[in-house]
Amino acid sequence: MAEFALVSVLVLALVLAVVQVILAVYVRSLLVDAAAEGARVAARADSLPSDGIRRTEQLIEGSLSGRFAEDVRVSEAEFDGLPVMEISVRAPFPVVGTLGPSGMLEVQGHAVQEPG
């Protein structure tokens, strides 16, 4: 009985750590997708960079929470000689409870600008 109690605590801690990693990868994946979609909207010839920010924020708020969409930025860059729009998203690292890593996730999405 004592061995079961000791082993079950370790197994539970391992399962919770795996859940934490899965949650972090899931949130990062959603943020990357939202940033890429926002960059595509911002890079269109008939839209403004602020349209890309707004689209990114809508996608993040719809799939996660508004607190993950508080720091969304757009900039123009150059990649292999081509002009691109870059959407950057900084969001808090998702943690379950009070345990787990702290800090910020930062992801970018890029899209080649359409000639206007």
DSSP string, 75-114: EEEEETTEEEEEEEEEEEPP-STT-S--SEEEEEEEEEPP
- For residue 102, the model assigns a pLDDT of 73
DSSP string, 19-51: HHHHHHHHHHHHHHHHHHHHHHHHHSTTS-HHH
- pLDDT tens-digit profile of 59-111? 999 998 888 999 999 999 998 889 999 999 999 888 776 566 678 889 999 99
- pLDDT tens-digit profile of 8-63? 999 998 998 888 889 889 999 999 999 999 999 999 989 999 999 999 999 999 99
Residues 6+ apart with CB under 8 A from 77: 83, 84, 85, 86, 110
d(CA 58, CA 41): 12
d(CA 60, CA 37): 11
d(CA 79, CA 73): 18
